[in-house]
Amino acid sequence: MASWLLVGNLLMIVALAAMTALSLWKHRETETDRARDVVENLAQNIAVEVGAELRNTDNALATIALRYRSTRQSPDQAAMVERLLHEQRGLLPQVAALRVTDVHGTVTTGLMPGERPFNVGDRSYFSQARLTDTMVVSEPLNSRAQNHWCVILARRLIDHDGNFDGIVYAVVTAQHFVDRFSGVALGPSGAVSLRSEGLNLVARYSASEPASTKGFGAKLLSEQAMRSLAQNRERGVYITPTALDRVERVTAYRKVPGYPMTLFTGMSTSYFLAGWRGQVVQQSLLAALVALAVAAASALIHRIHRRERRAKDAVQQLAREQDAMLQNDLIGMVRIRDSHALWTNPAMERMFGYPPGGMVGQSAQTLFLSPLEHARIRDASLATMRPGGRFHTQLRMRRLDGAEFWVDLHGTVLSETESMWMLVDIDGLKRSEEQAQHLALRDVLTGLPNRRLFEEKVGDAINAARRTGRGFSVCYLDLDGFKAINDQHGHEAGDEVLGEISQRLQELVRSNDVVARLGGDEFAILLSGVTRPEDVEQTLQRCLFSIQRRITLDSGEKVSVGASIGAVIGGGGDACRELLHAADEAMYAVKRTGKGQIQIAGHVHSEWAVAA
């Protein structure tokens, strides 16, 4: 008898340990998958934003090169080039300097006040730009003029006669990218970095080392990162200690669309597995307690077999211990016969808000959200449990006061008419999952939909248009003068302006319209059912007027911004990416030709600037 009890206890403990380990492993996989989704979404969104900045700079450099070639040599050419640089410089808040060199690489235009001419002819980007019509993106380098890390975006200049006449280039500092990345929420040890085509570090921000420039300009990557990049240079996810600071992170990378740069986002495993580690302690303690209780019960049975004189006391002791297990505070238990409760433990009554004994005799249907939901679960559980299996699902149920909450439900058959069910309240965990999903689809600063959610809404509008025939309009909006507010009043003031503009735009549109923040000072609006250009124009005029109204900062100072707006009218036959690209191009066309204007489907309207 003793040997059989020992073997049974060992088998039960092994089974309990295996179930606990499997549950913890699955929970860890779930947390890891959620972290992967978060860093992948952030990598995609930030890569798109960086690509938009590079494209903005590329357009400006192309405009300068085109106008330079169309101008004949003249005594006032230098002044013309200076005016052209000044005009484009105002459209490039991300650029620290915009310069022009002669055919030998000597910087002739775009020098800072008090700065002497210098030569960049020995720089690799100069020789690369000389040989191609496209924009050249340099490897990270330390600026000779300003002594800071930066990248150079350069295009060659061809004179009116078709001869090479120098280059025009923009300087984008590493600090600009660091400032942009600092707003990304990835936990206390999270990191965002940007690398060049040669995988040299352009910029990096880590919450644990916010001011560090360690590794800038160097190709310092882990072996796992190199293997992942070798398999897929465009995108990937891996988990490994980061080479720069040896912090283990789940890291996602995305190629910047259209340009030779790669964006990396990483979240430390210690951060996203913190909750899981708490579960390890909790479930391990619970498993140990259950194992001890089983061992104690087996010991009592053995003592009953050996000492019949103490049988009564041993049985009573065993009954008390079993009752303690059933009356636990964590797991609700109910015994069901013919869809009615025969017995419940206190944890079950507390979970559903019933008084002691109040659930006995109640129909199980009252705990479900609807009779149809009860019938669905009943049929599914019977199909699983009758052959000897165990039923498990997660669903929303209803408390006595009508409140809904999430439950983890386990069931097993006791007889032809009876079954035993165990329930765990997981409402807090589900709410955490919903919050994580919300953060992945919303802009942290304004609470507006982000680029990913906006693209989903446009896709929904296209599908609805195919069914109903009702079109819609997609509008892109970029603030004018926002960088000046950031520079003069600081980033906190800039955040106030973005929040106020977000609120004004939401107040102007209908409840079925969508206002989103795409990143930086760029917004987008989806106007449902609005297809006439005059109606789109009227709505956007109101938006433009509202944006131009003065904004009072918390400091008491008053500031104002403008906006350049591009729009396109869409329907069921359009593709989402083509519509977004068309609206983006319309907005940048306004930027190139002047600010404070609206352009709809290729039609440029008069300037709507209003004094604030």
Considering the domain architecture, whether residues 508 and 544 belong to the same structural domain is answered as yes
The DSSP string of 499-513 is HHHHHHHHHHS-TTS
Q: What's the maximum distance between 2 C-alpha atoms anywhere in the chain? A: 121
Q: Name the helix (H) or strand (E) containing 167.
A: strand 164-173
Q: What is the mean pLDDT of residues 391-417?
A: 87
Q: What's residue 607's pLDDT?
A: 36
Residues 165 and 78 in one domain: yes
Whether the predicted pLDDT of 152 surpasses 80 = yes
Task: Say yes or no to pLDDT of 61 above 50.
Answer: yes
| Confidence category of residue 166, pLDDT binned at 50, 70, 90 | very high
Structure token digits, residue 73: 């040599």
CB atoms under 10 Å from CB of 534, counted, come to 8
Q: Residue 589 pLDDT > 70, yes or no?
A: yes
pLDDT for the residue numbered 44: 95
Please indicate whether residue 153 or residue 209 has the higher confidence score (pLDDT): 153
480 shares its domain with 514: yes
**What's the pLDDT score for residue 318?**
62
Please report the pLDDT score of residue 274 as a whole number. 85
For residue 208, tell me if it sits in a domain: yes
pLDDT band, residue 475 (cuts 50/70/90): very high
pLDDT at 39: 93
Query: Rounded to whole angstroms, how far apart are CA atoms 500 and 511?
Result: 18
Predicted confidence at residue 322, as pLDDT, reads 60
* CB contact at 8 A, 242 and 227: no
Q: What are phi and psi of 7, to 5 degrees?
A: -65, -45
pLDDT at 439 over 70: no
- Are 221 and 362 within one domain? no
Average pLDDT, stretch 247-260?
94
> 66 and 215 share a domain?
yes
**In whole angstroms, what is the distance from residue 292 CA to residue 160 CA?**
90
Q: Which comes out higher in pLDDT, residue 292 or 473?
A: 473
Mean pLDDT score, 184-201 = 92
For the chain, the straight-line distance linking the first and the last C-alpha, in angstroms and rounded, comes to 92
Position 603 pLDDT exceeds 50: no
Same structural domain, 350 and 392: yes
DSSP state of 367: G
| Within-domain flag for 309 | no
Contact 256, 50 (CB under 8 A): yes
Q: How far is CA 434 from the centre of its chain?
A: 13
Amino acid in the structure at residue 551 = I
Q: What residues contact 64, with CB distance under 8 A and at least 6 apart?
A: 84, 85, 88, 100, 155, 157, 168
Asked if residue 17 has pLDDT above 90, the reply is no
The three-class DSSP label of residue 101 is strand
Confirm if 196 and 87 have CB atoms less than 8 A apart. no
Three-class secondary structure assignment of 120-152: CCCCHHHHHHHCCCCCEECCCEECCCCCCEEEE
| Residue range(s) defining the domain that contains residue 122 | 1-272
Instruction: Judge whether 9 lies within some domain.
Output: yes
115 CB-side CA count, 13 A? 16
What pLDDT does 326 receive? 62
The per-residue pLDDT for 311 is 61
Phi/psi at 480 (nearest 5 deg)? Answer: -100, 135
pLDDT of residue 448: 94
Q: How far apart are CA 343 and CA 525, in angstroms?
A: 56
For residue 302, being part of any structural domain is answered with: no
- Helices 491-508, 482-489: axis angle to 10 degrees equals 140
Judged by average pLDDT, the poorest of 142-156, 164-178, 297-311, 343-357 is 297-311
Residue 348 and residue 449 share a domain: no
**pLDDT band, residue 112 (cuts 50/70/90):** confident
Question: Per the domain annotation, does 580 fall within a domain?
Answer: yes
Ranges 2-11, 37-46, 387-396, 533-542: which has the least confidence? 2-11
What pLDDT does 19 receive? 87
Residue 554 lies in a domain: yes
Task: Please count the other Cβ atoms lying within 10 Å of the Cβ belonging to residue 256.
Answer: 22
Cβ atoms within 10 Å of 143's Cβ, excluding its own: 15
The strands making up 201-206's β-sheet, listed across from edge to edge, are 201-206, 191-195, 262-268, 248-255, 235-241
pLDDT at 321: 63
- Three-state secondary structure along 530-575? CCCHHHHHHHHHHHHHHHHCCEECCCCCEECCEEEEEEEEECCCCC
pLDDT the model gives residue 272: 85
Question: What pLDDT score was predicted for residue 46?
Answer: 94
Cα(406)–Cα(431) distance, integer angstroms: 9
CATH of the domain at 556: 3.30.70.270
Look at residue 306 and tell me if it is in a domain: no
Q: What is the pTM of this model?
A: 0.48
- Of 350, 380, 378, the C-alpha closest to 363 is 378
Residue 173 sits at φ, ψ, to 5 deg, of: -75, 155
Rounded to 5 degrees, φ, ψ at 510 are -80, 170
Residues 6+ apart with CB under 8 A from 429: 406
**What's the whole-number average pLDDT of the chain?**
88
Mean pLDDT of 304-322: 70
Residue 542's pLDDT is: 95
Cα separation, 307 vs 362, in Å, equals: 43
Q: Which of 76-90, 295-309, 346-360, 522-536 has the highest mean pLDDT?
A: 522-536
pLDDT digits (tens, 9 = 90+) for 368-396: 989 998 889 888 888 888 777 788 888 88
Is residue 482 domain-shared with residue 382, that is, in the same domain?
no
Q: Which residues pair with 526 in a beta bridge?
A: 474, 514
User: What pLDDT score does 395 carry?
Assistant: 86
Which CA distances in Å does 71 have to 58, 65, 104? 20, 10, 20
In a domain, 324, yes or no: no
Q: What is the CATH number of the domain that holds 261?
A: 3.30.450.20
Q: What are phi and psi of 572, to 5 degrees?
A: -65, -20
Residue 41 predicted with pLDDT over 50: yes
Structure confidence at residue 1 (pLDDT): 64
Q: Is the model's pLDDT at 206 over the cut of 50?
A: yes
Query: Average pLDDT for residues 310-323, to the nearest whole number?
Result: 67
| pLDDT exceeds cutoff 80 at 529 | yes
Q: Where are the beta strands (DSSP E) in 324-417?
A: 332-337, 340-344, 391-398, 404-413
Where does a domain end: 426, 461, 491? 426
414 with 448, same domain?
A: no
Listed residues 363, 395, 426: the one ending a domain: 426
* Spacing of C-alpha 100 from chain mean position: 39
Indicate the burial class of 251 (C-beta count within 10 angstroms; 0-12, 13-18, 19 or more).
buried
Query: What pLDDT was estimated at residue 27?
Result: 85
Using DSSP bridges, classify how beta strands 340-344 and 235-241 pair: parallel, antiparallel or unpaired: unpaired
Residue 309 has pLDDT above 80, yes or no: no
332 to 272, 397, 410: CA distances (angstroms): 29, 13, 10
488 lies in the same domain as 405:
no
48: pLDDT strictly greater than 90: yes
Q: What is the pLDDT of residue 609?
A: 32
460 and 407 within one domain: no
Count up the domains in the chain and report the number. 3
Task: Name beta bridge partners: 363.
Answer: 340
Q: Which residues contact 3 (CB under 8 A, 6 or more apart)?
A: none
Which of 426, 456, 476 is where one domain is finished? 426
pLDDT surpassing 90 at residue 300: no
Q: How far apart are alpha carbons 492 and 400 in whole angstroms?
A: 47
Q: What pLDDT score does 164 carry? A: 94
Together in a domain, 419 and 471:
no
Per-residue pLDDT at 385: 81
**Mean per-residue pLDDT, 187-207:** 93
The rounded distance, in Å, linking the Cα atoms of 556 and 271 is 39
Q: Are 339 and 365 in contact (CB under 8 A)?
A: yes
Provide the pLDDT for residue 517. Answer: 95
Residue 604: what pLDDT? 38
pLDDT at 602 over 70: no
